[in-house]
Amino acid sequence: MPNDKKAKRPIEIVIAEKNPLLQSSLIKLFAGDERFTLLHMCPDGERFLAACDRMKFDVGIIGWEMPYLDGRGVLEALSTRQEGPRIIVYTGSGNPDIPRQAMALRAAGFCSKSDPPAQLLETVAAVADGRMMFPFVDVSQLGADPLAGLTRRERELLASLASGFTNQQIAEKLDISLNTVKFHLKNLYDKLGVSNRAQAVAFFLKGRDRA
């Protein structure tokens, strides 16, 4: 009998979502399914980590692009802890490499915001049950060098960053607009799994040292 009660205990979750409208939708989604209990909703990665410090729960649902601390930062912080929730990355980003990056950082699952809401519910249930839930990820590539997947222009941008060029200087050097530089840099950061210029440069220098 005690085992039956334990099996029926609701899955306790905490969500980190920056969009207020989506926050409301997710609250309603989980409130409508008795399998789950939503303990807390956080607007950013830092507050999600604070929630991890003060409460125990089964599954965390986090975005990839979040204020103050992004999904990568949250996963890296949790990787140093002995105990913690199982994490699902829930994002609307179109970057096809995010599931691989999330898996490499020990996330337990991935779900796209373009999937039906029911998919998120089933992903949370499966992850709480101990399963890994990802779209197809080539596990042989988990340790692959992301530098190899950069375009020629992205390599030029990365080399310019490492040389200390500002965005304006890069635009002048490559004869492109400042907005185009920013667009290419965002794609570059996504591919490398970093969130800023300093991390990109560190990645570049490390890759050069390995070569």
35 shares its domain with 135: yes
How far, in Å, CA of 184 to CA of 74, rounded?
25
Percent of the chain as helix, strand, coil, to the nearest 5:
55, 15, 35
CATH of the domain at 39: 3.40.50.2300
Q: Is 37 a domain residue? A: yes
Same structural domain, 20 and 84: yes
pLDDT score, position 5 = 46
Check whether residue 193 and residue 123 sit in a common domain: no
pTM beyond 0.95, yes or no: no
Instruction: Say if residue 76 is in the same domain as residue 177.
Output: no
Q: Scanning the structure block, which residue is given the tokens 């965390």? A: 60
pLDDT at residue 31, as a whole number: 96
Query: What CATH number does residue 160 fall under?
Result: 1.10.10.10
Is there a single domain that holds both residue 96 and residue 159? no
Phi/psi of residue 93, each to 5°? -65, 140
Strand partners, 133: 109
Residue 13 bridge partners (DSSP): 38, 59
Q: Is residue 3 a part of any domain in this protein?
A: no
Answer yes or no: are the C-beta atoms of 142 and 104 closer than 8 Å: yes
pLDDT of the residue at 154: 79
Does some domain include residue 82? yes
How buried is 136 (Cβ within 10 angstroms: 0-12 exposed, 13-18 middle, 19+ buried)? exposed
Whole-number pLDDT of residue 148: 61
Could you tell me if residue 76 is inside a domain?
A: yes
Q: Based on the fold, state whether residues 168 and 77 are members of the same structural domain.
A: no
pLDDT for residue 40: 97
How much is the pLDDT for 207? 59
Domain boundary among the residues 88, 117, 141 is at 141
**Same structural domain, 114 and 176:** no
Domain stops at, among 120, 141, 162: 141
- Determine the structural domain holding residue 198 and report its residue range: 152-209
Residues 95 and 136 in one domain: yes
Identify the pLDDT of residue 1. 45
Note the pLDDT of residue 114: 92
Please check whether residues 121 and 22 belong to one and the same domain. yes
Task: Give the count of domains, the chain.
Answer: 2
Mean pLDDT by 10 residues, the chain (211 residues): 60 96 96 96 96 96 93 90 90 85 89 94 94 72 60 81 88 87 83 80 66 43
Give the separation between CA 81 and CA 106, rounded to whole angstroms.
12
Q: Residue 211 has what pLDDT?
A: 43
- 88 and 30 both lie in a single domain: yes
Q: Are residues 26 and 63 in the same domain?
A: yes
Q: What pLDDT, on a 0 to 100 scale, did the predictor assign at position 108?
A: 93
Q: Does residue 111 sit in the same domain as residue 25?
A: yes
Residue 146 lies in a domain: no
